[in-house]
Amino acid sequence: MTRRPIIGGNWKMNGTLASAKRLVADLRNGLGSHHAADIVVFPPAPFLGVVQGKLAGSSVQVGAQDVHPMASGAYTSGTSAPMVESLGCGFTLVGHSERRAWFGDSDERVAEKLSAALHAGLAPVLCVGETLAERDGGRTFAVVERQLDAVLAAHRVPALAKLVIAYEPVWAIGTGRTATPEQAQEVHAFIRDRVVARLGDLFGAQLRIQYGGSVKPANAAALMACPDIDGALVGGASLDARSFGQIVMAASKRSPASSGGSR
């Protein structure tokens, strides 16, 4: 089964309104309109409306970096999923490792946020992955399984139709270190098998799983040549339109024969 690759650009807490506008203009000019991959950028919350407006009608979609689990209420500084959807955005990250580490998002809170995103009609990109200590301790699969099960146990297949999973080894984010294609593929295959076990063969075969962790133009093609890697969640390189465009091109050139999954 061929899965359409998905490339996400997570801008994190970077830039100003002026630099966001410049980046959007560079993306529109550089990416064109026809790709064999879905493209989504995740700007900081204050820029969502402007970025969405300037990318409307282009090949680039827009998503939030996080949503609050509640739809409305006295939650100062929160951004709800309905707010994001009302701007015309179609995606949100959920459970990014920096949210887990800096803001204390537990597996249970991540599951609540994912439910809120689905209820609002957003496509959630569920981020899972292990720290360096967890990898060195041989706990990679146990950690990823726990993070997955917290979400999968609460939903049935129809509700998760828009789900994307991003495997992001925490030890490879912003460090310059990258999991080898073999290391990444091993965890992606584990994720797909776990999803199959919980939600069935068809859903598991259709599910798109991104790799996130110091993805660059130099390593993108090798990573996305792996059978269970269906795209990339890009951090620093997404702030440069040329580098991001090269990663998109690497996904667009991915052979359909390489996207059939490990099963």
Which residues does the annotation mark as catalytic?
96, 168
Identify the residue whose tokens are 């064999």. Answer: 36
Residue 192's region, left for phi above 0, alpha for psi from -120 to 50, else beta, is: alpha
Q: Tell me the DSSP string of 177-237.
A: ----HHHHHHHHHHHHHHHHHHH-HHHHHH-EEEE-SS--HHHHHHHHTSTT--EEEESGG
User: 256 exposed, middle or buried (CB, 10 Å; 0-12, 13-18, 19+)?
Assistant: exposed
Q: Which two tokens stand for residue 94?
A: 């959920």
What is the gyration radius of the CA atoms in the chain, in angstroms?
17
How many angstroms separate the CA atoms of 178 and 210, rounded? 14
- Residue 190: how many CA atoms within 13 Å on its side-chain side? 20
Residues pairing with 60 in the sheet: 39
